[in-house]
Amino acid sequence: MNNQEEPDQLELIERYRTTLITLARHYVAMVEKAARIRSEAGSETVGGRKAGLYCNASVIRKNSARLKEILDQDRGILWFFFRTTNLQNIAKETIRIEQ
């Protein structure tokens, strides 16, 4: 694609698919991070640090829930591209790079 050209429709579709995969991967990473922080907080002995870790895990969990809500608003698109609406499965998809 030259700098002067508009991206063609297939390129835009591929960019959208790549964005969906990236967002799904981000969601999965956030869920895993929140779980890791919560398990860390469970073994913490200092009360203030424990509360801080639980607070951080809660914020990350809420943000991941919001991201999931955004992705779930149009489940038909997820089904169209990936034949699933499970974000963990979508996160495992391969991003195609064309040159």
Domain-located, residue 56: yes
Query: How does pLDDT run across 33-73, given as a tens digit for each residue?
Result: 999 999 999 999 999 999 999 999 999 999 999 999 999 99
If one counts the domains in the chain, the total is: 1
Residue 11 domain-assigned?
no
Let me know if residue 22 belongs to a domain. no
> Is 84 a domain residue?
yes
Tell me the HSE value of 55 on the side-chain side, using a 13 A CA sphere.
Answer: 6
Q: At what angle do helices 75-82 and 9-42 cross, to 10 degrees?
A: 110
- The amino acid present at 31, given as its one-letter code, is V
* Its pTM surpasses 0.95: no
Residue 18: inside a domain, yes or no? no
Quote the domain boundaries for residue 65: 28-91
Q: What is the pLDDT of residues 13-30, one digit of tens each?
A: 999 999 999 999 999 999
- 2 inside domain: no
Asked whether residue 16 is domain-assigned, the answer is no
The answer to whether position 34 is within a domain reads yes
